[in-house]
Structure 1
Amino acid sequence: MPEIESTMGSPISLVEIDEQLSEALVSSSRQMGWKGILVEHYRHSEEPGELEVPALPDHWLTLPLGKPAHLTQKRDDTLHESTVQKGDIICFPAGRSSYWHIEGRVSDDFDYQPMLHIQLQSRLMTHVAEKLEFGQGQVELVNCFGNHDLPLHNIAMLLAAEVETGGLMGELYRESLTQAFVIYLLRNYSTIDREIKPQHQSLTNMQLQQAIDYIQDRLGGDLSLIQIAENINISPNYFASLFKQKTGISPHQYVIQQRVDRAIVLLQKTDLRISEIASRVGFSSQSHLTHHIKRATGMTPKQIAKIRRS
């Protein structure tokens, strides 16, 4: 957690602020091994207060999830006021300090304000920008205070859902979401050129087949977007969009589709337990397998196996 100074001048951590304001951490990706990104869901009390946020090494974004609250921000000797609400974003760019005055909730019918906090390591933003051929050097985010941005909000909520389920959809899905989140920020909230498009790169039929073969050979294990892309010598930041251009679906959707197809074959042709089939085709659990098979076929794995026996 970064250090924050109160208006009384004594530095206190966000953890101590949480305790003082009776805030409760609902969920966190801290123990999930996610690289370059931290996603945490809090329920903050709505008491007024003032904070001075020093320059931080990483980028922090806050997404309000509750009812409107009035905030005043001072950055670079300029005051900004806004009533923030669900769908808005607040950015704490790395390397820039700011002052905040929190007036509290607008309405009086609730006690806590749910908030989503996302920390992005500066080197992750710089790495993605360099891979997208935006040159070298530190990437700076512009000030975004109370911007209403539903597309970014929706990606953030999908990341939060992955935290809630313990990463149920897998590493490939999480990587795709993180990449989409970072690229969206680079396009819309950074100081670099906003038009981010694959330049001089395309996915040949041979590369597509190599990617498919790689996926098929490792369908039962953890698949990484980076590993698939590097295997065919394509930038991971381009691979997902190029793959979708060729196939009409994302790499994650393709992997799920192939795992479901292989699971159905095993259900129809073997007497393996459903939990063992789930493990063999790369699903994290039997319930995960059941969810996707029912979504694809309208039947449960037991019903498919029963048809084979009859």
Structure 2
Amino acid sequence: MSTDRTTNIDFNPQNTRVPILFSPIISSAAKGWDNIGVGYYRLPASETPKISFSQHIIAIHVDKYPVKGERQLEGRIVEETYTNRKIAIYPAHQTQRMNWDKQIEFINLSLEPNLLINCTDECIDSNNIEILPQFAIEDPVVYSLGLALKREIESDNNDSFLYVESAATMLAVHLLRHYAVQKPIIKDFTGGISRSKLNLSINYINDNLDRNLSLIELAKLVEISPNHFLRLFKQSTGVTPYQYLINCRIERAKTLLKNQKLTLAQISQQLGFYDQSRFTNTFRKRMGITPKRYRDSL
């Protein structure tokens, strides 16, 4: 009998052998995101075999009604009741069994362990950092980030690498600060990024508004870890790199709209938006007016 065999579940988009039990309604598999996966699940009452995960898993419950469950983890049994907004954290490589008594609905976030390692101070032995499992807790930060990432996979937007990587880094740092056994040192910097590195970053962003820039790419440019770059950039500019990129695109759009020969589709393409609809929606949110009406008012 193989009833005691542990089934490893790998949510990496390159893996095609995820058990049918965990097939999502929608997922980020086709988005090409690094270090994080997002899926939306609606599963019937069930009981899993003995399983483990290759990634750190955060389950964000969006159930309409309470769902009672039980988890067997490292020799202990934990009873859980999940309601809307409750989350659970399943550390990578921990063996467990789970069951729940009725249909369960949740957003699943899978974070690669290396992402957490890259967010710690270089002098810390990452092998001694362990994420603690959590059972039906409330965490507004994780909940809001999860909803935002779900909206990204529901949209047709394929130009959100910088946004998604920033969210993934924030999640990793949050896990390390609040749910790690040996609290890692996460540097708090004051004063922001150096002027030379800030100028280099800003110039690079403005020179590449038509591209789907990534956080890793920008951090590598100035030789800073993605986590530190994200925090230092915001300290210096007051906004995240993604927000800064969008601001630059809108300012460039205002200039391009003065050229009546350029169509809105052409401007959208020059500014790296996935399509004209995405450009129009983003412009309206920032300016309170559509690009066409803005052009007509000039």
CA shift, 1:197, in A, is 3.0
1:264 maps to: 254
CA shift, 1:212, in A, is 0.9
1:17 has 2:43 as partner: no
CA pair 209-10 structure 1, distance change in 2 beyond 3 A? closer
CA shift, 1:167, in A, is 3.8
2:180 to 185, 190, 195: 190
2:12 maps to: none
CA shift, 1:59, in A, is 2.0
Larger RCO (CA within 8 A; separation ≥ 6): 2
1:30 has 2:21 as partner: no
CA pair 145-281 structure 1, distance change in 2 beyond 3 A? same
Distance 2:66 2:3 in 1: 23
Out of 118-127 and 254-263, give the one that drifted further: 118-127
1:54 has 2:30 as partner: no
Q: Deviations over 1:202-252 (max 9, x none)?
A: 412222112111111111212122222222222221111111111111111
CA shift, 1:176, in A, is 0.6
CA pair 152-238 structure 1, distance change in 2 beyond 3 A? same
**Is the Cα–Cα contact under 8 Å of residues 283 and 289 in structure 1 kept in the other structure?**
yes
CA shift, 1:14, in A, is 5.9
Q: Deviations over 1:92-131 (max 9, x none)?
A: 2222212323233xxxxxxx43211222222332233355
2:270 to 280, 294, 299: 280
Please say which structure displays the higher CA radius of gyration. 1
Distance 1:237 1:75 in 2: 31
TM-score, normalisation: structure 1: 0.83
**Is the Cα–Cα contact under 8 Å of residues 32 and 166 in structure 1 kept in the other structure?**
no
Q: Deviations over 1:175-209 (max 9, x none)?
A: 11111111111111122315633368841222211
Out of 117-126 and 295-304, give the one that drifted further: 117-126
CA pair 130-44 structure 1, distance change in 2 beyond 3 A? same
**Is the Cα–Cα contact under 8 Å of residues 120 and 185 in structure 2 kept in the other structure?**
no
1:128 has 2:119 as partner: yes
TM-score, normalisation: structure 2: 0.86
Distance 2:171 2:6 in 1: 35
Unpaired runs of at least 5, structure 1: 19-23, 105-111
1:165 has 2:165 as partner: no
Q: Deviations over 1:58-102 (max 9, x none)?
A: 222222111211112222322222211121112222222123232
CA pair 260-199 structure 1, distance change in 2 beyond 3 A? closer
1:84 has 2:88 as partner: no
Aligned length: 288
2:145 to 155, 164, 169: 155
1:64 has 2:55 as partner: no
SS at match of 1:25: coil
Structure 1 counterpart of 2:51, one-letter code:
P
1:97 to 95, 98, 105: 95
1:108 maps to: none
5 Å-filtered alignment, 1:290-309, equals 290-308=280-298
**Is the Cα–Cα contact under 8 Å of residues 67 and 81 in structure 2 kept in the other structure?**
yes
Out of 218-227 and 258-267, give the one that drifted further: 218-227
**Is the Cα–Cα contact under 8 Å of residues 34 and 165 in structure 2 kept in the other structure?**
no
Out of 221-230 and 154-163, give the one that drifted further: 221-230
**Is the Cα–Cα contact under 8 Å of residues 52 and 97 in structure 1 kept in the other structure?**
no
Structure 2 counterpart of 1:129, one-letter code:
T
